[in-house]
Structure 1
Amino acid sequence: MELNSVSSTSSGRASSPVVPSPPAENLPATNKWVRGLAVASLVANIGIVVTGGAVRLTASGLGCPEWPLCTPDSLTTTPEMGIHGVIEFGNRLLTFVLAAIAFGMVFSVWKIRAERRDLFKLSVALLAGIPAQALLGGITVWTGLNPWIVGGHFIVSMVLIVLATVLVNRAWLSPHQLGTTNGPLATRSLRPLLGALGIASALSVLLGVVVTGSGPHAGDHGAARNGLDPDLMTRLHVVPVYLLVFALAVALYLVYRHATDGRLRSSLLLLTVVVLIQAVIGYTQHFLHLPIVLVGLHMLGASLLTAAAAHVVFTGFSRQVPGTDPAARPAGATASRRG
């Protein structure tokens, strides 16, 4: 006999059907504060790259000519520093926002640090990166915006974005996924391609930093450049970009040709979208002679590219990946109920 989905009450009225809740093993193992702060950490680390780019692109890099003070006699900007002082000091203040998020993240995982050492270590690493970045920022001021120091400052931000991306992924693991012993989602033939994607992305960002150091946006009208030929550096910069696009095309072909976990397909599609947008912005800014708005968007794109590439590598190589395969059948699904 077919089972009724609605039960009757003693008064003869039908009660509402019970909506099943998702299995506990599919729910994230961390609370909403941990997950929210992990996302905030990633957003803040990307955001401070963009605001730092605004400092350089508006020639405000020496708006505060001293560090850690803004002037020899003042911690804050003064009216004499003008708009450049406001922009530079504003970027310095954002470091405290980043620090507050990092401290909040460490505090939120403190009680579970024994069972979630992964989250605790990542949180501490992100917190430690803030004073390291602040010191590098001070060195850039002391050296009059040396392009190599400025580039190192940017690269450290990319490393922090990678750590924050891993933190977000691991914060969303469910109890079941935390205890999994499954192998990586990427097949043996796909893993070298994912490794190539990560390397090509890193080289693209590194050479992009060198191109920037040879270009016109020095952060201050009197700041030195690295002395390299901008056109030659640009041509070298696009080589790993072409390799990245080629590796992406092959990887997408493989994941759609063979049965692959939907989480890996989604991460590759996200990286593809970011790469295509970044390529369009890069070519456009080059042929329009580097307008500051497009250069700023390109810096944002570099941050998003770093995060997307880190997400792909994590998803393909990690044995613990959050989420469920969209192509998979829901757990507990059965054919049809029979009485």
Structure 2
Amino acid sequence: MPLETLRARIDALPTPGIRLQRAVAIAVVVTQALIAVTGSVVRVTGSGLGCTTWPQCQPGSLVPVSHPEFAALNQWIEFGNRLLTGVVGIAAVAAFALAYLARPRRRHYVRLALAMPLGVVVQAVLGGITVRLDLLWWTVAVHFMVSAVMIWLSVMLVDAVDPEPEPGSLVPAALPGLLTGSVVVLVGLLVAGTMVTGAGPHAGDPETPRLALPVETLAHVHAAFLFVYLGMVLAAGVLLRTGGVDRRLWRRYWVLVAVVLAQGALGFVQFWTGVPELLVSLHVLGATAVIVATSALWCGTRDRALVAAPGERVSA
């Protein structure tokens, strides 16, 4: 079929509804976060090398097989995480297809949607590299940080679904800059967290070398980033109060405060109790929630809000 004919047939397809587009975009957020959490389950159960190669599970077999050195449960945990990549990919491709079919076609929206399946491919390759390098701590860290970026972009995708979003309220001129700074601190917080993990006991496999730095020192650095980040979030709340913002933005803000406080409390409990496996996965879940909430607030102050002069108060 000629390319022009194929393009004409695609363009003739009906425009998908906003509700469907939003539902699929939210599914992308959920699946991107879920695979980060299941990745932590692989690590804390020591299943990272349950499948010893990639893209096959065992040499000569795509699926787990009986093996004298690897328990069946570990193989299936790792293989299940790989299967979930397919679910993430389906949601990502569906989001791109819907964005491409939406009319009028918006370049920003389509580009964000295209980043979803491309990100899945990148993550699959990184996962393979991680396995082939026997779970070196920095490969695991890079794998997680790319997941963090994908979660952030998927929230932006949800925000971009509406072609004409409802007008927002005015916010103080200093707020976008403060939130951008907080994102930089959040990146430092996440990187420090991956280093704590790299030096900690949960390597994904008992034979994997760990980061040769004191875990306690790294944990203190991680906590310092948390305190700075929380302080910037609270400062953002003060600025929001002076701007007279609407309920939608306040709701995003208080969700962020709640998840940051819960994540911080969980981190301290995790440290004091010797990093139990369940709390590790819950902490990764909390990290994804912080990323989602931060991205949602960041989008709310840029895409739906006008910037007010200092001291100006306008209600929506």
Shift of 1:30: 4.7
Shift of 1:143: 0.6
The residue type paired with residue 235 of structure 2 is: V
The residue type paired with residue 146 of structure 1 is: L
Is contact 1:185-1:318 (8 Å) kept?
no
**Structure 1: which 5+ runs fail to align?**
1-28, 322-326, 330-339
Q: 1:241 aligns with which of 226, 243, 266?
A: 226
Is contact 1:185-1:317 (8 Å) kept?
no
Tell me the distance in 2 between the aligned counterparts of 1:200 and 1:145. Answer: 27
Alignment of 1:276-315 (within 5 A): 276-315=261-300
Tell me the distance in 2 between the aligned counterparts of 1:109 and 1:258. Answer: 34
Shift of 1:175: 3.0
Q: 1:154 aligns with which of 111, 130, 144?
A: 144
The residue type paired with residue 54 of structure 2 is: W
Is contact 2:172-2:240 (8 Å) kept?
no
Correspondence for 2:210: 225
Q: 1:273 aligns with which of 258, 282, 289?
A: 258
Tell me the distance in 2 between the aligned counterparts of 1:162 and 1:264. Answer: 18
Tell me the distance in 2 between the aligned counterparts of 1:176 and 1:309. Answer: 19
Is contact 2:245-2:315 (8 Å) kept?
no
Shift of 1:214: 0.6
- Bigger-Rg structure (1/2): 1
Alignment of 1:125-140 (within 5 A): 125-140=115-130
Is contact 2:96-2:116 (8 Å) kept?
no
Correspondence for 1:11: none
Tell me the distance in 2 between the aligned counterparts of 1:253 and 1:134. Answer: 42
Is contact 2:49-2:134 (8 Å) kept?
yes
Alpha-carbon deviations, 1:2-60, whole Å to 9, x = none?
A: xxxxxxxxxxxxxxxxxxxxxxxxxxx95222111000000000000111110001000
Instruction: Say whether 1:103 aligns with 2:93.
Output: yes
Shift of 1:328: 5.9
Correspondence for 2:311: none
Q: 2:173 aligns with which of 169, 183, 188?
A: 188
Tell me the distance in 2 between the aligned counterparts of 1:228 and 1:176. Answer: 48
Partner-residue secondary structure (3-state), 1:79: coil
Is contact 1:105-1:123 (8 Å) kept?
yes
Tell me the distance in 1 between the aligned counterparts of 2:78 and 2:223. Answer: 31
The residue type paired with residue 234 of structure 1 is: A
Shift of 1:257: 4.2
Q: CA 1:318/1:64 → structure 2, altered by over 3 Å: closer, same or farther?
A: same
Tell me the distance in 2 between the aligned counterparts of 1:273 and 1:176. Answer: 26
Is contact 1:186-1:317 (8 Å) kept?
no
Correspondence for 2:249: 264
Correspondence for 2:54: 67
Q: CA 1:176/1:200 → structure 2, altered by over 3 Å: closer, same or farther?
A: closer
Q: CA 1:319/1:31 → structure 2, altered by over 3 Å: closer, same or farther?
A: closer
Partner-residue secondary structure (3-state), 2:35: helix
Tell me the distance in 2 between the aligned counterparts of 1:107 and 1:248. Answer: 36
- Root mean square deviation of aligned Cα: 2.1
Is contact 1:59-1:221 (8 Å) kept?
yes
Is contact 2:170-2:315 (8 Å) kept?
no
Instruction: Say whether 1:78 aligns with 2:68.
Output: no
Partner-residue secondary structure (3-state), 1:70: coil
Tell me the distance in 2 between the aligned counterparts of 1:157 and 1:166. Answer: 14
The residue type paired with residue 221 of structure 1 is: P
The residue type paired with residue 230 of structure 1 is: V
Shift of 1:114: 5.5
Alignment of 1:39-78 (within 5 A): 39-78=26-65
Q: Percent identity?
A: 34
The residue type paired with residue 31 of structure 1 is: I
**How many aligned residue pairs are there?**
291
The residue type paired with residue 214 of structure 2 is: D
**Structure 2: which 5+ runs fail to align?**
1-15, 307-313
Tell me the distance in 2 between the aligned counterparts of 1:258 and 1:187. Answer: 5
Tell me the distance in 1 between the aligned counterparts of 2:165 and 2:300. Answer: 16
Correspondence for 1:175: 164
Please say which of residues 218-227 and 244-253 is displaced more in the overlay: 244-253
Q: CA 1:155/1:113 → structure 2, altered by over 3 Å: closer, same or farther?
A: farther
Shift of 1:174: 5.3
Q: Which has the higher helix share?
A: 2
Instruction: Say whether 1:210 aligns with 2:200.
Output: no
